[in-house]
Amino acid sequence: MNATLNTQETVNSSDAIREDGGPILAVVGMLSFFSVIGTIGNALVLYVYTRKRNKLAATVFIISLATTDLTTCIVVMPYTIVIEYLTYYVKYDIFCKMYMFFITSNVPFAAFIMVGIAFDRYFCIVHPFKHLMNAHRAKIITASMAVLAFSLGIITALNYSVYDIQDCDEGNNTTCVKYTGVCKPSEILLPHLFTLHYQKLYTALFFLALVVVIILYGLIYRSVLIRRAKRRRQRRSTCSLPLTKESWFSDYRSSMMSSLRKDSDEKTEKNNIETELLRQLTIRERGLVANIKTALMLFVVTAVFILVFLPAWLMAHQIIEYNRVIFYMYFAYNVANPIIYAFMNKAFRRQLKIVFKCM
């Protein structure tokens, strides 16, 4: 999607936007503010989550997302400030390609990470006994997604240049490569037809990721509602020990009864079984609640991602009128994540208090 965004932005910037310096100064101020706040916030996120001893799959994904956001705040935002101030007049071709690589690889990578997070939450909540996702697998998945995102960034970078193919002699209809100094789409390395198909693929991957995320969180919500309904029915039907509906607990109780029967009388056996079952139930209920809270927090992250990118996507496809300041509001996503963690994660807030006390 960002390839489409920046194609439109290049056109708009090159068409004499110097006539109005206000929007440029507004973008410079906004991105400078985002860069400072985002750098501090994401650095704190990395400090807190990298210090955790037992890293879960969700922790690996959050660290990867924070690393991407921190890179955006330190590199991409200042780079964008310079490019915007120069209205895409870049002297060296390598700087043009580097900018397009950075700005078009971090967006799909963030979207891919959110897909990984959604799958992790789905397996933890809907299929908690299968243990399909762990930290090692999360690292492999993250590395694979990074390779795919960087590949997309390289293709986009090859499509942009400060050189372009132009007519050398109108009478002979000959073409040659000329220096323009403007970082914009060029057919020197990749033909125009390939670029059109690539942009469609790029946009399709982005929306496919969002659709998968929405479906997975929908399944998670459905699973939570079903469990709550079953729990209510169990509470109405019996006043005895509130056993769960999972067959694992009934099998566990049977095995516990057979093992304890050998060493204790009937009364002691019953008390021991009920105590152990209550302990196991409490542990699993707490784990389920923690997973649901984490899923809710990460769903908010996804919702913010969609919300801030939607106006830029509509402008890029000329569905709504272009506004430079609103267009670059999508960088707010890289700043919002630490704020979301701070508001919705008690453990994160507790660790931040410890950090500030030490300082």
pLDDT in tens, 289-342: 666 666 677 678 778 878 888 888 788 778 888 888 888 888 988 888 788 776
The answer, yes or no, to whether residue 269 has pLDDT greater than 80, is: no
Q: Is the pLDDT of residue 351 over 80?
A: no
Global pTM reads 0.74
| Proportion of the chain above pLDDT 70, given as a percent | 73
- Write b or e for each residue in 254-281: b if 16 or more Cβ atoms lie within 10 A of its Cβ, otherwise e: eebeeebeeeeeeeebeebbeeebeebb
What is the rounded average pLDDT for all residues in the chain?
77
Q: What is the tens place of the pLDDT at every residue in 2-15?
A: 555 554 454 444 44
What is the pLDDT, as a whole number, of residue 149? 92
Alpha-carbon distance of 241 to 243, in angstroms, equals: 6
66-105 confidence digits (pLDDT tens): 999 999 999 999 999 999 888 899 888 999 999 999 988 8
Q: What are the chain's domains?
A: 2-159+192-358 (1.20.1070.10)
Alpha helices in 127-191 (DSSP H): 135-158
Instruction: Give the Cα separation of 106 and 300 in Å (integer).
Output: 19
| Chain length of the chain | 359
- Among the ranges given (216-230, 241-255, 302-316), the one the predictor scored with the smallest mean pLDDT: 241-255
